[in-house]
Amino acid sequence: MPHSQTSEDVRDLFVIGGGINGCGIARDAVGRGLTVTLAEMSDLASATSSASTKLFHGGLRYLEYFEVRLVREALIERETLLRAMPHISWPMRFVLPYHNDMRFEGSTPTSKLLNVIMPWLKGRRPAWLIRFGLFMYDNLGGRKILPATTTVDLRSGPEGAPLDDKFAKAYEYSDCWIEDSRLVVLNARDAVARGAQIMTRTKVIKADRVDDLWEVIVEDLDTNETKVVRARMLINAAGPWVGDIIHQKLRVNSTEDVRLVRGSHIVTRKLYDHDKCYFFQGTDGRIIFAIPYETDFTLIGTTDADHEDPSVSPICTDEERDYLINFANGYFKSTIKAEDVVWSYSGVRPLYDDGASSATAATRDYTLKVDNTGGAPVLNVFGGKITTYRRLAESAMDKVKAYFPDLPDKWTAGVALPGGDFEVSAFDTKVAELSHDYAFLTSAHALRLVRAYGTEAPTILGTAQSYTDLGKDFGANLYEAEIVWLMRNEFARTAEDVVWRRSKLGLRLSADQISALDEWMQANRADVLRTDAA
């Protein structure tokens, strides 16, 4: 069909990419009074930002690479973020079993030297290094909410029950969980509430510098219509496609490049009963996590492998699946088999190419580069961790301020995201209140709604007095009222958006149920959105 093309008023910023970095920057910028338009070619968080290990963590192993600034910033951020989103983020304890199958008895110099060297020869860290790392982890970030490291006796505690009997001792430390794709959506929603324009399923065709402005041609992938958006500055936060945007869409000569690193995860049947996570060391020097997931499952990840082409969708290969299974089987009593894997996913980390010798060693820190050699500036965003997304956005605004000198100061620290306007300690109270006010809800359903929507859960339920009042039942306690909310308020357009990004109900729904949900959403989309507009 023929394309139409129209113009808009000049925007201050045009952001490419609807992942956590793009949405975080858009929220920060519009909150400082800038006019912002963001374009995402697919769904929000459809790539890297929905395929993480889902942790707000300092990155204990990054201390080995002397990335102290990154770790400190991330550790400080954990508690800042907890306060802003207590519904989708919460503290977790991590159990790091210590290998004592490598100890040499005696106090001779030779024995002492072997006890230092042997762990490294087996690909693991010696006890003194672990203790030192955890001491730094406890003290670099100024903890106020999270408890400090302790030592655990695995022979008597529940933490040791699922582990091989050879493990007698562990270190236990604090980090945090985050619902990664919901974090992206809530940043986007808050940006829209403050005046930003968010365009999903909208692809950047090309961008040109014209008279000290960027003229960006975008295509609506649903209608095939194109339009021109003019902006004073462009932010390239396209994640795995950041290099493609630089070279193909902007046609900018740049020596900066991105290193794509694939991280794969598997989800298995529930492997243990307590609510703590495990931090496992491998003989190859790598680490993996085993994490309680969605009540009935265990999440295991991640791998590190170079990924050459962003246009090739990442998948967890059989080799990566087997690597994770074999890794975990070195710790658990019960043997995990391939048939125990109920789901797998893989994401591509767009890391700054620092020339590291391996994907594992490549820096996780973010790098921000401004190019203004041809007139209007573009800020290219490389790397970053989900934990430091807010600080990355502040650093981006520091770069932007050179072109908008009256830009107000930073503001996002501790400011609640939608639904997160309550204290961290009040979560259970919020669940109890929802269960009281809507007595027909099962306890599991009430918990899921507060985890996803926080104080907005009652808005979704409205005046309902029974499940019948919530409309069509799509299975797994997913009802029409929630779907309508997601379509109107959270940019959801397909069943995949709902069951794998706005939630993880895809683990509980059959293929036929997901297909029926998608058919309903497509059939009712116009009416749902038209009602919203009215």
**Domain of residue 450, CATH code:** 1.10.8.870
**Does 329 fall in a domain?**
yes
- Coil, helix or strand for 329? helix
Asked if residue 343 and residue 214 are part of one domain, the reply reads no
Whole-structure pTM value: 0.92
* Low-confidence spans in the chain with pLDDT less than 70: 1-8, 61-66, 100-125, 354-364, 531-534
Asked if residue 316 and residue 186 are part of one domain, the reply reads no
> How many structural domains is the chain composed of?
3
Domain limit, last residue, from 308, 324, 350: 350
Asked whether 243 and 258 are in contact (CB, 8 A), the reply is yes
Asked if residue 43 and residue 140 are part of one domain, the reply reads no
For the CA atoms of 305, 308, 314, 315, the dihedral, rounded to the nearest 10 degrees, stands at: -60
Q: How far apart are CA 412 and CA 394, in angstroms?
A: 9
Q: How far apart are CA 526 and CA 487, in angstroms?
A: 10
Strand partners, 352: 258
- How many angstroms separate the most distant Cα atoms in the chain? 83
pLDDT at 357: 53
Report the CATH number at residue 137: 3.30.9.10
Could you report the per-residue pLDDT of 407-458, keeping only the tens digit for each?
999 999 989 999 999 999 999 999 999 999 999 999 999 999 999 999 999 9
Q: How far apart are CA 371 and CA 190, in angstroms?
A: 29
Domain interval for residue 528: 424-533
Asked if residue 372 and residue 326 are part of one domain, the reply reads no
**Does 75 fall in a domain?**
no
List the structure tokens of 69: 């600034």
For the CA atoms of 106, 112, 117, 119, the dihedral, rounded to the nearest 10 degrees, stands at: 50
pLDDT at 114: 41
C-alpha distances (whole Å) from 185 to each of 18, 88, 179, 181, 270 are: 9, 11, 10, 6, 28
**Does 224 fall in a domain?**
yes
pLDDT at 362: 60
Instruction: Please report, as a single letter, which amino acid is at residue 479.
Output: Y
How many Cβ atoms sit within 10 Å of the Cβ of residue 223?
A: 11
Asked if residue 381 and residue 521 are part of one domain, the reply reads no
DSSP 296: T
Could you report the per-residue pLDDT of 42-73, keeping only the tens digit for each?
999 999 999 999 998 877 766 666 677 878 88
**Does 291 fall in a domain?**
yes
pLDDT at 121: 41
Asked if residue 339 and residue 266 are part of one domain, the reply reads yes
Asked if residue 378 and residue 252 are part of one domain, the reply reads yes
Q: How far apart are CA 88 and CA 483, in angstroms?
A: 19
**Does 83 fall in a domain?**
no
Q: Strands 277-281 and 89-98, how do they pair? A: parallel
List the structure tokens of 193: 């509430």
**Does 414 fall in a domain?**
no
Radius of gyration of the chain (CA): 24
pLDDT at 379: 97
Asked if residue 268 and residue 247 are part of one domain, the reply reads no
Q: How far apart are CA 372 and CA 209, in angstroms?
A: 10
H-helix segments, 310-388 = 318-329
Asked whether 245 and 238 are in contact (CB, 8 A), the reply is yes
C-alpha distances (whole Å) from 351 to each of 48, 98, 384, 464 are: 11, 31, 7, 47
Asked if residue 168 and residue 238 are part of one domain, the reply reads no
Q: How buried is residue 48: exposed, middle or buried, by Cβ count under 10 Å (0-12/13-18/19+)?
A: buried
DSSP 407: P
Buried b (16+ CB within 10 A) or exposed e, 3-41: eeeeeeeebbbbbbbbbbbbbbbbbbbbbbebbbbbbbb
The continuous run of DSSP H or E covering 258 comes out as strand 258-269
**Does 317 fall in a domain?**
yes
Q: Number of C-alpha atoms within 13 angstroms, CB side, residue 23?
A: 29
Asked if residue 448 and residue 508 are part of one domain, the reply reads yes
pLDDT at 356: 62
Report the CATH number at residue 239: 3.50.50.60
Asked whether 253 and 209 are in contact (CB, 8 A), the reply is no
- Coil, helix or strand for 36? strand
Q: How far apart are CA 411 and CA 404, in angstroms?
A: 16
Q: Strands 367-371 and 197-199, how do they pair? A: unpaired
**Does 70 fall in a domain?**
no
What string of DSSP letters covers 374-406?
A: TSS-EEEEE---GGGHHHHHHHHHHHHTTTSTT
Which runs of E-coded beta strand occur in 282-377?
287-293, 297-301, 305-306, 341-352, 367-371
Asked if residue 267 and residue 250 are part of one domain, the reply reads no
Asked whether 116 and 126 are in contact (CB, 8 A), the reply is yes
Asked whether 253 and 345 are in contact (CB, 8 A), the reply is no
Asked if residue 165 and residue 263 are part of one domain, the reply reads yes
Residue owning tokens 């365009």:
199
